[in-house]
Amino acid sequence: MKVMMYQMDVIAGKPEENRAKVSEWLQYEYKKYEPDVVVLPEMWTTGYALDELEQIAETSGGTTEAFVQQLAKEYNVTIVAGSFAVKTDRGIVNRSIVVNEKGKIIHTYDKIHLVPMLNEPDYLVGGNEKATTFSLNGVNAGVLICYDLRFPEVFRTLALNGAEVIFVVGEWPAARRDHWDTLLKARAIENQCYIVACDTVGEHNNVEYSGNSLVYSPFGTQYVRASPVEEETVYSVLDLEEVATFRKSVPNLKNRVPDLY
């Protein structure tokens, strides 16, 4: 599986400008790599302009959703569309969607864990449905968002449901950059799956973002790592046979004794 991520410097509060950035990036970079999957970061349309979300967040089926669907069809590629703010009857959620090459939404996930360090609970409501797996061109996959990384249970649930690849889309602060790296590697090893993590760079409201988008294999091997500060394209080829090989040789998922935990 060929994966291409956009480690993006998001323009806070400017959805139209950020959509234009993604469109230009994909137009330029797709021809170089011809990926199977394109990955965008968390909150890539608005950034953490949380106090503006009442005005700029969209409803389900809005402009950003249609924009991603059109790109997926135009480039014949599956897009893990990071996440963006969506208005619902319950409030504004931090939502990720996955759109296949035909422009069909094949997966939706609303961020369960809201990060208090960035004041998300003051402006957003957490998702009220479990994270689930989905089929991505025959590969069992899952998507989680940023602060979810600190909760190993949700990753383990996806792995137990067969996830071979878990995409983590983030806007992770540079102040905790080491945690990003360490936890991503741990989630890959303990769940014996690929972790594909797409982060942002730049800063907003005196918060600098950590970059370091990366891919870890089920063995904990780092396939690729982006700059901590530069906007860039991150590309990697995943060998999905590694998942089955490692799960067979070190069967820790089968050796669990949850009744004693």
- Catalytic residue selected from 21, 58, 120, 146: 146
Q: Cα separation of 66 and 84, whole Å?
A: 13
Q: Cα separation of 195 and 166, whole Å?
A: 5
231 assigned to active site: no
111 assigned to active site: yes
146 assigned to active site: yes
- Catalytic residue selected from 111, 120, 164, 171: 111
β-bridge mates for residue 3, sequence order: 37, 236
Single out the residue of 90, 68, 70, 89 nearest to residue 80, CA to CA.
68
b/e burial code for range 70-107 (CB count within 10 A of at least 16 → b): ebbeebebbbbbbbbbbeeeeebbbbbbbbbbebebeb
Catalytic residues, by residue number, are 42, 111, 146
